[in-house]
Structure formats: structure tokens, C-alpha cells
Structure 1
């Protein structure tokens, strides 16, 4: 599932869980039937943290796929094919700046980790506020009972 999240730029495990629930192509890729239960976002998160931490599994899968394509003659490195759509624009070719963006699978995992930390911090703050309010209400009830 994490591979799907990486390939499709899905930013969180909760969103990944929801996408897999409704996307038949994702279910097919994962070997899930229509009635099969999708793993919970917390299960996905725990697997990412425990099994795939400091792992090169995404890069290994990509390298393997490229190797299979080379073996089948789909990739030779001699011809480059580009799929594009021409649209009218006001950009000047002289102003075009080529920038290479290197985004690694580890960057995606770091992004997921940051999202999880934010969610956990928000939950902790909410729990603290609820606990404080609860204790305050309990004190008020005790005061009222004493009166």
C-alpha cells in the first residue's frame, strides 16, 4: 500500500486507506476483493515505522521493474518518447529554467512521519484540554455538593 501512496503522491496513511477502499485498480493491485477489508491506517503506519524504516524496498522494486523492462526489450536507452499536449502560453523559451528535482521514496516516508507526528500532537493537546475540563467540572460538582 505504501508503494501506491508513493507512486500516486498520497500524503497520509488515512487518505491512503480511504483511496484503497474506493479505488478498484488499487484493490486489484493489492489482491483485495470487493468484500475484503482494507488495512487500517494505523496498521499501515506501524508497518512503515517498523518494517520499512531505513529500507530501500521502494528503490529495489523500481530497479527490478526497470531491469524487467530492459530484459523484455521495452527499454533500451536509445529512444526517448514524450507524451505531451501543446497549449498556448505566454512563456518565453528564453525564460525557461530547467530544474532537476530528486524526490526519493525516503522523502515520502519522512513526509508521512511528519503528518503522523502532527496528528499525534493534536490528539495529545485535545486529550489534555478534555482532561483539564473534566477535572474542572469535577471540582465544581464537589464544591456544589459541599454547599
Structure 2
């Protein structure tokens, strides 16, 4: 008899995220190697003293790093991408049932820091990755597609200036 799979959503789930991210996973190893606790002190002056609690600067810079490493330039797409991957949730320190922040929070946090400070801190985070041997800069990838050229000097056309929009286009002349 043919089996049939039906999906039942769990109301309660006992799940260990760390048990489901393999030891050899890049982001698991990066989490073990990377200590970004220094960011809290370096960014403290850019945050207010009252109001709602903001995004942890360590989480923010980890998100920036993921965006850089995964080549994701959209904050909306970055948050969606991270919410779908167990290893990224583990790297960021989020639980499976814990919702990630809004994409606009990432954008607003970027605007919180002056550009030079943001770039300097990210460079420091990235340098730590390089120092730990997790990221290298010795390989370059280029995206290109070969296109067969189909050009001939005999096929060149001279462009004629158009004096007004109401005149018809001047006939094209072949180059001598």
C-alpha cells in the first residue's frame, strides 16, 4: 500500500539548535573562534541612555559579516536568509522560536554610526576572521560570460544629429 505523508505542526517542540549544526560547519567554527565582545564598549557612546533596548552590537556586526560573506546587500533579504538557516541562527545566538529583528532595525542601526566608525569596526571584525584563518583573501572570483563579437568596420553607421523632434530621422549613411 502506498504511504502518504501528512504534516502536523508541533505545538511544543523540544529542539537543541546546537545539536543540529554540525561541528565542521563554517559558522559554528566562526562562532567558536570569534570574540566580538569588545564591540559593546566601542559602540556604547552611539546609543541612548533610555528608551527601548536596541539590537546588540555584536549581533549587528555578525549580521553585517553574514551579509558580506553571503553576498547579500538587502537588509530584508539578509534577515529572511538568516531566519531560514539553522547555522546562521546559531551563529547569531538566536533560538529557533525566537524571531529575528526587523530588517528596518538593521538599516537604522547602520545610520546610528558615522560611516567612518562603521567601516573601521567592520574592518576590525573582518580582520579577526582573517587572523583566525576563517577567511582568506587569496582567491578572486570573477563573473563573466563569453560573448562572440560580431562587429565589422563595414557595418558602421554614421549618426546624424536630429534638429527637432518632429522631423523624421535622417537616413543612416554607411561609413566610407
Instruction: State the TM-score, normalizing by the size of structure 1.
Output: 0.44
More helix by share: 1
Between Structure 1 and Structure 2, whose CA radius of gyration is higher? 2
Relative CO higher for 1 or 2, CA cutoff 8 Å, sep ≥ 6? 1
